Structure 1
Amino acid sequence: MLLQKDLNPALNTVTAYGDGFLEINRVRYEGAICFAPEGPVRNVAVRSAAQIDAAFLQDLIGLKQAPRDPLAFLDDEAPAVELPDNAPEVLLIGTGPRQVFLRPDVLRPLLALGIGIETMTTQAAARTYNILMSEERRVLALLLPGDPS
């Protein structure tokens, strides 16, 4: 299905999707991908939502361990990670043809840092990504294609 004409060719836009594939800027991808409005489209080694854990999401966003403050024990809520400058406001996770909710322990670390996480079907996530991207929001999409059955 064709989603929309290119609004800004400098930005990553979902241009089509179908059974088993996604198309970003008219380039076809057949596996799971991760991308933001700017930068590369990355292939990721996840085949299902069941394989997504907290460490995977933190690595996907680029969280780094914060320098250890010797007095950090005084502040129970001191974050153990540093947000990168380009950290997303929202992480959209397209879980394939069916919506799959991730476990709370997977979501909790990013939610504690103020990053919103939405899981939905991949088609809904693709459409939502295009809307948020066109609004100049800092969004990161992780899209798992549906099975081409």
Structure 2
Amino acid sequence: MPVLLQKDLNPALNTVTAYGDGFLEINRVRYDGAICFAPEGPVRGLALRDVADIDAAFLQDLVGLKPAARDPLAFLDDAAPAAELPAGAPEVLLIGTGPRQIFLRPEVLRPLLALGIGIETMTTQAAARTYNILMSEERRVLALLLPGDPS
């Protein structure tokens, strides 16, 4: 049974309007797989099946980071980031891991955290609600949501 999250819509902003077993609804459009979206712009379907498939390169690509040229002396400066933030980079990345909260390994999160992007991992239901709140506060938030398994 779908859970209605948001009745009122601002057509200019992506809003999570409902979720249920195996699906998510953004602006009253149903998505059956993993998706990624920000308040503005397209809702992107992802070929992601499982949280275990998320690695550092996947997250960096998701937020639009281009790998920096490899500096052979980078090991001397632990604080040097591996990439620069693109314009409009998110302040926070919300990762909804389905019906159970699954934490990602620190080495997966480290490159984004080093650039000042906050990362929150939670159930997809909690991530959907949190996204709507942050979006309504005009925060630069990016959501990566995996739907729960249908029962």
Category of TM-score, reference length = shorter chain: over 0.9
Structure 1 residues 76, 104: closer, same or farther in 2, change over 3 A?
closer
Structure 1 residues 71, 144: closer, same or farther in 2, change over 3 A?
closer
Matched, 1:17 2:19: yes
Q: Which of 86, 91, 112 is residue 89 of structure 1 equivalent to? A: 91
Q: Tell me which residue corresponds to 2:101.
A: 99
Deviations 1:112-148 (A, max 9, x none): 1000000000000000000000000000000000011
Identity score, percent: 89
**Aligned 1:1-149 pairs, distance under 5 A:** 1-66=3-68, 75-149=77-151
Contact 1:6 1:13 in 2 (8 A): no
Contact 2:65 2:84 in 1 (8 A): yes
Q: Which blocks of at least 5 consecutive residues in structure 1 are unaligned?
A: none
SS of equivalent residue, structure 1 residue 40: coil
Q: Which blocks of at least 5 consecutive residues in structure 2 are unaligned?
A: none
CA distance in 1, matches of 2:63, 2:57: 10
Contact 1:31 1:43 in 2 (8 A): yes
Amino acid at match of 1:64: K
Structure 1 residues 50, 73: closer, same or farther in 2, change over 3 A?
closer
Deviations 1:4-36 (A, max 9, x none): 123421000000000000000000000000000
**TM-score for both structures, normalised by structure 1:** 0.92
| Aligned Cα root-mean-square deviation (Å) | 1.9
CA distance in 2, matches of 1:79, 1:117: 16
